[in-house]
Amino acid sequence: MDEKTMVNDILSSVKASLGSYQTAISETENMSLRQTLQQIRNNDESFQYELFKTAEAKGYYKPAAPASITEIQDVKNSVQQ
């Protein structure tokens, strides 16, 4: 397996785990456990962002083009209605 494939696989896995942590956090009543899960999630988010920046710098990942002002305003308008 080449580096690009491994990096993209890790990014996908971390993205999936972030969703799972969010679900667990929202369903956890025990404050100590909730805080622990939030800290783990925060650490994973930081790790994911650093890995994303590395992948982007190496050309492994190319994000979508930025949205135009008009596209942003259209989304804002649709959400506010």
Helix (H, G, I), strand (E, B) or coil at 28: coil
Phi, psi of 71, rounded to the nearest 5 degrees: -65, -40
Placement of tokens 């008009």 in the chain: 70
Q: Specify the pTM.
A: 0.73
Please write the tens of the pLDDT for every residue from 22-53: 999 999 999 999 999 999 999 999 999 999 99
